[in-house]
Structures are given as structure tokens and as C-alpha cells.
Amino acid sequence: MTEPENLTNILTSLLDELRTGGNEREWIECKVSYANPQDIGEYISALANSSTLNNKENGWMIWGVEDGTWLPVGTTFSPSKLKVKAKPAPPQYTTDKEQGEELTNWLLRQLAPGIDIRFYEFLYQDKPVVLLEIPAAAQTPVSFHDQEFIRVGSYKKRLKEYPEKERALWHIFSRTSFEGLIATSGMSDDQVLGVLRYESYFELLDLPIPSERTRILHRLEEDRLIKAETSHSWAITNLGAILFARKLSGFSTLKRKSLRVILYEGVRRTGSKKEHLFDEGYASSFEEVIRYIKDLTQAGELIEDGFNKKIYTYPDITIRELIPNALIHQDFQITGTGPMVEIFDDRMEITNPGSPLMDTLRFIDIPPKSRNEDLAAFMRRIEICEERGSGIDKVIESVEHLILPPPDFINYDSSTKAILYARKDFSDMDWDERVRACYQHACLCSVSNQVMTNASLRVRFGLNETESSTVSRIIQETLKRDLIKPADPDSHSKRHAKYIPFWQ
């Protein structure tokens, strides 16, 4: 499709820069009008993989520029007007709208993993040209029709024939963080400031907003939220988008990563009362998310010193710790799903894609490990989360203070779930809950340089001294499940027995 004038100016400057290098580089391919759909797909794979090897954000196919001379000669190729007729093989172009498939859609179906390729058609020096923007491969080589390709000089080859290049690719992937990858590219100054909520960036860091646009962009670049591509265009990193996007759905790789909050009727998923998708970046929308969830979990009001005071089902600190955990520790490589909060009458479940990087039983004592270190570091800078490993300790401590049922942390095959429970009488807690509370209390005591006793566990459950035998049975069951052990194995005192978690 024909591009608007402002984008045409950016593309013209980009093509000027691409032509200055001379000769075909391993991340650029020139054609005049030849455009076989199968060949284009293979070149997309080759140029995506070669861009990574050459430390380029994008690869490019250019139609309308002569190979060798780099002179603009124009092209008859117009991807927006042609469709692909895949049968009979090999694929060929057709003008039959009933039988043909749009070229871009056809290419995307064959590519794995899916990448955000874009065709641009415009006039360059009064001649029609086409640019195909191809994002560099990230995390894994890009394949077409289950075949991976690479550029070797000016030739397109199968990657498996060049094992040294394949090894080099995987070495780069192992060093590349998700946050540093590109969410979108080819953005003008105005477009960057239009899609990122830069005002929130300065507000959260307690900085004045510069009066000059170039200084705003420079500051965003310093924090690796954007990257300069050319003298006239920018790329927005995943870090910049996931933190400050005005609309995450505007980024193809992040549109399923918006936080989803669902309020259910009762204790089952049979029907939802309310659902909201927070489509804004995590940092700029965080306080709105917290307010929204707290409003949904308001349990009532009381009058204190003449003022109405709202009462909530869950302590504020539990929400402020567990929501950021879900956002920060998710596995962004798992597609088709994102972080979710589900609120029932008796519990709140907070789920994020990706199995945890440690045993859920050790959440309380081991410092956190994150797949997304840059994201975690920035969230710490704006005081949304900590990196000291005390977040879960605070959750457990606040739950014990209000004598709530113990939270649960569950590791599924491809997700992690934290569950907070509403108030429940001790008599209504089942044995799993009582044992889990006992273990968590022992852990909390341990990280505070204390030890658990029958007396301290009675206080945790809100029980009096006459119920010490009940607490003793809970301790014995927790010992039987190998979650705690005697602090002094040689002691035979039952009355003054002390206990520590199994890992101490």
C-alpha cells in the first residue's frame, strides 16, 4: 500500500543509508521485479537469521534497486495487489480474489516463529520501489516451511549446511534478553512519543519532562526503552513497550501480554460478573491496576474516629507484592497467554505464563531469580517491586498477622499460580491448609532468626493455650510430610520443642 508522506520521508532516508554501503550485505537483498513467493519466504528466513549474526535489528529486501550498481530503476512488483495461489505447487501469484491469499498472510503462515514482517511501497527518486522489513531472529532461528536459511556472502543457503553459523546463532540467542529485543521499528519521533506514555516515565522517576523533544527521546534511549535505527527513525524495545505502551495490543509480539482481571460470581468459573483488560504498559498502569483489584475485593466499611474506613478482603501488601511478581517473572516466550488475576468469593488466583525458576517451597527464603532482569531492575527503580527476596516474606507475614489461611504457590507445566484465600475459621481449614501454614510459619521464623514453637504456631492460628494439643497434631503431620524438622534432634522435650524448615 502507498505510504503517507511523513513515513515516505523516513523510508527515503532509510533507503539512502542502505544504498551507501554498496554491494549486497548478508542482511540485505536487492531485486528489480523478480518476486517468487517461495523465494521471498526463504529470503525472509535467511535475512532474519543473518541480521542476528551481523548485529542488525532488521534485515531488508529491496525491489526496484539494481543489484551491483545500487541504482534505483523502479519495480513492477506490488505486494498489496497480488495474491498467492498455493495449489498446484509451486506457489504462484494470481489475480483471482476468490482463490488467492494475501501475500503477507501466506508468508506469515509458513514462518516460525512468527515475526512482524512489513512491506512498504513508495516512490524513490520518482521510481516505484518496495522495502520488506524483516526483524532479526530472536531466541531461535527463523524457518520457512520448516526449513532454516542463512546468507553466505550474497547466496541463500540452508542453515544446517553451515554448522559454525548455527552455533554462532545459538550463542547469540543465549546472550540476548527478551527486554532488549525490538517490539517495533521504523518509528518517527512523533510516533515514538505517540505510542509510549513517556509522561509516566518521567513522573515515576520523579524527573521533570524536558521541554525539547530530542531530550525526551535521548532520555528514553539511555534507559534502553528505544534504540536509534537511523538518523530519522527509532525502534521501540520490548522493555519500553511492556513498561510504557499506551496500548500493548498495538505491538504484535506483546498484544497477549496485557494483564487480565476477572471477577467471578461465587467460587467457580461458571460465570463472570466483570472482566477488564489493562492494555497499557505495566509501569504506567500499575497504580490503576491495584486500585481496581482492591475495589473488587472490598469487604465493607467501618467508622473509625468519625471517618468511614474501607475494609478489604486481602492485605494491601499481598496484592502489591504478588501482582508485580506475576508480571516480572512471566515467560514472555510462551505465546497466546498472559498474566491474569481471577477473583472468587473465597480466593484470588494470580497466574503468569512460565514455570518458576525455583522450587515453590523455597519462595520464602531464596532470593528471586528472574527471566527478565532488566524489567525487574526498572520496576525496582520506580519502587514497584523489590529485588531483595523479601516480597513473599511480607506476604506471609501480613497473612499471619490477620490470621488468614496460608497462601498457596503452585507450579504447573507452563504457568505459575499464587492463591490468596479469604478469611476462614480455623475449624474450616483442611489438613493441607494447616500443614502449609505450619511450614510457612517455620520458614518465616527462620528468616527472622527465630524458631517455631507450639506457642508461636498457636498465635499464628489465633488459638489459645487450651488448644496446644491440636497444634501439636499439626506439627506432627508437618514433620511426617518432611516439611519441618526438630531444631535440636537430641532434645526429648515436648513442651519446649523447637522446629525449623527442612532446608535449614
CA dist 300 and 264 (Å) reads 18
Per the model's pLDDT, the better-predicted residue between 96 and 361 turns out to be: 361
Mean pLDDT of the chain: 89
Q: What local confidence, expressed as pLDDT, does residue 423 receive?
A: 95
Per-residue pLDDT tens for 269-290?
A: 988 899 999 999 999 999 999 9
Band (pLDDT 50/70/90 cuts) for residue 83 is confident
Report the b/e string of 293-309 with b at 16+ CB within 10 A: bbebbeeeeeeeeeeee
Before 79, cis peptide (omega within 30)?
no
Per-residue pLDDT tens for 335-345?
A: 789 999 999 99
Nine-digit cell string for 182:
525490538
Question: Mean pLDDT, to the nearest integer, of 248-258?
Answer: 91
Q: What local confidence, expressed as pLDDT, does residue 233 receive?
A: 86
Residue 489, pLDDT above cutoff 90: no
Give the three-class secondary structure for 118: strand
Among 17-31, 87-101, 172-186, 361-375, name the one with the lowest average pLDDT: 87-101
Nine-digit cell string for 185:
521499528
What is the sign of the dihedral through the CA atoms of 475, 477, 481 and 485?
positive
Question: Mean pLDDT, to the nearest integer, of 257-267?
Answer: 96
Which residue from 156, 120, 184, 145 is spatially nearest to 27, judged by alpha carbons? 156
Model confidence, pTM: 0.73
Residue 324, pLDDT above cutoff 50: yes
Band (pLDDT 50/70/90 cuts) for residue 378 is very high
Question: What is the set of domains in the chain, with CATH numbers?
Answer: 5-176 (3.30.950), 186-250 (no CATH), 256-393+409-421 (3.30.565.60), 425-504 (1.10.10.10)
Among 103-112, 420-429, 449-458, name the one with the lowest average pLDDT: 103-112
Q: What local confidence, expressed as pLDDT, does residue 408 receive?
A: 97
Q: How many residues does the chain have?
A: 504
Q: What local confidence, expressed as pLDDT, does residue 82 receive?
A: 84
Band (pLDDT 50/70/90 cuts) for residue 5 is low
- Looking at the DSSP bridge assignments, the partners of residue 350 are 341, 418
Per-residue pLDDT tens for 113-147?
A: 878 898 999 999 999 999 999 988 887 899 999 89
Q: What local confidence, expressed as pLDDT, does residue 1 receive?
A: 43
Question: Mean pLDDT, to the nearest integer, of 415-439?
Answer: 96
Find out whether 61 and 43 touch, Cβ atoms under 8 Å.
Answer: yes
Question: Mean pLDDT, to the nearest integer, of 461-476?
Answer: 95
Q: What local confidence, expressed as pLDDT, does residue 341 receive?
A: 98
Name the strands in the sheet holding 118-124, side by side, starting at the edge strand that comes first in the sequence.
Answer: 28-31, 58-63, 127-135, 118-124
Question: Mean pLDDT, to the nearest integer, of 386-397?
Answer: 77
Band (pLDDT 50/70/90 cuts) for residue 210 is very high
